[in-house]
């Protein structure tokens, strides 16, 4: 399928799932707006590399997704927004009674409230263009919980509820809103945790992956950033025109347990 002429904004897309989603949308022909809160040479170089690889226009726009005005400015600066992927996210792990307040606030702001601001700014642009796709990167933790991840689980359940509401508000328009719910995905962030887990559990790499990291993922395989990107491309296809307000789990069976 071709997304030629469409512009996709992917928040938190200088690494991991966001970058994987941006790459697949670019491969399908969409012009891209990459984003993170940094403004490094390598961020802009990444945009140049993707533009050369896929023959599309790619811009990098710095915006801190913990700040509402910067979320809205991202959409305005992009100048177009046919596809909005709300992906930026952070994690912190601690029991509720010891959970640092500033971590709770940051997780709710970046993983949930940012999507409210970007979507609010993007919908009028999509309505004017007569077509739009809002894709929220939620998580298996948008559908089920784990201990010590209260803020993350609350934010991800919140984004699933937000997805349904936006879908109902746009149901009579050529705009859809859905959430992708990944299980464990081998992003650089997750890869970096493996050596520590090997030490802490006195296990080899394969054992840590199977028994610790993929404990709740029945396939015993990581999902990939390419699979997240492919799912996003599918949600942008005509086959998905009537798919709205729902979640698509890409979690190796986690939420079937
Ligand atoms: P990652 O750390 O590789 O990517 C997170 C991205 O968000 C980065 O580009 C980072 O720069 C950006 N970001 C962080 N804070 C930001 C801020 N204040 N403003 C703008 N950008 C900011 O992690 P990832 O694993 O690729 O996670 C991406 C999304 O996927 C998150 O929403 C995460 O919750 C979700 N997710 C990840 C997994 C997994 O196993 N990796 C599983 C389920 C859901």
What is the full per-residue pLDDT of the chain (257 aa) written as tens digits?
799 999 999 999 999 999 999 999 999 999 999 999 999 999 999 999 999 999 999 999 999 999 999 999 999 999 999 999 999 999 999 999 999 999 999 999 999 999 999 999 999 999 999 999 999 999 999 999 999 999 999 999 999 999 999 999 999 999 999 999 999 999 987 888 899 889 989 999 999 999 989 999 999 999 999 999 999 999 999 999 999 999 999 999 999 99
- Pick the catalytic residue: 54, 152, 162, 222? 152
SS (H, E, C) the chain: CCCCCCEEEECCCCCHHHHHHHHHHHHCCCEEEEEECCCCHHHHHHHHHHHHHHCCCEEEEECCCCCHHHHHHHHHHHCCCCEEEECCCCCCCCCHHHCCHHHHHHHHHHHHHHHHHHHHHHHHHHHHHCCEEEEEECCHHHCCCCCCCHHHHHHHHHHHHHHHHHHHHCCCCCEEEEEEEECCECCHHHHCCHHHHHHHHCCCHHHHHHHHHCCCCCCCCCECHHHHHHHHHHHCCHHHCCCCCCEEEECCCHHHC
Q: Is the CB of 70 under 6 A from ligand 1?
A: no
Distance (angstroms) between ligand 1 centre and the Cα of 4 equals 26
Is 184 among the residues known to form the active site?
A: no
Q: Is the CB of 14 under 6 A from ligand 1?
A: yes
pTM for this entry: 0.98
Distance (angstroms) between ligand 1 centre and the Cα of 93 equals 15
């Amino acid at each position: 399928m071709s997304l030629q002429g469409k512009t996709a904004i992917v928040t938190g897309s200088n690494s991991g799932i966001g970058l994987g989603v941006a790459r697949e949308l670019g491969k399908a022909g969409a012009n891209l707006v990459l984003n993170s809160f940094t403004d490094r040479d390598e961020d802009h170089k990444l945009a140049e590399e993707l533009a050369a690889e896929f023959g599309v226009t790619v811009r990098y726009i710095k915006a801190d997704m913990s700040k509402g005005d910067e979320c809205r400015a991202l959409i305005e600066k992009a100048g177009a927004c046919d596809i909005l992927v709300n992906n930026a996210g952070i994690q912190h792990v601690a029991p509720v009674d010891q959970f640092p307040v500033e971590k709770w606030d940051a997780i709710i702001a970046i993983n949930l409230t940012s999507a409210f601001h970007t979507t609010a700014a993007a919908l009028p642009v999509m309505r004017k263009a007569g077509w739009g796709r809002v894709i929220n990167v939620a998580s298996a933790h948008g559908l089920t919980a784990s201990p010590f991840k209260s803020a993350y689980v609350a934010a991800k359940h919140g984004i699933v509820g937000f997805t349904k509401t936006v879908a109902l508000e746009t149901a009579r328009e050529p705009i859809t809103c859905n959430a992708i719910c990944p299980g464990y995905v081998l992003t650089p962030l997750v890869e970096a945790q493996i050596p520590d887990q090997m030490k802490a559990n006195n296990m080899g790499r394969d054992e840590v992956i199977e028994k610790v990291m993929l404990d709740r993922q029945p396939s015993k395989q990581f999902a990939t950033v390419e699979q997240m990107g492919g799912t996003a491309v599918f949600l942008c296809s005509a086959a998905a025109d009537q798919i709205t307000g729902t979640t698509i789990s890409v979690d190796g069976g986690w939420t079937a347990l």
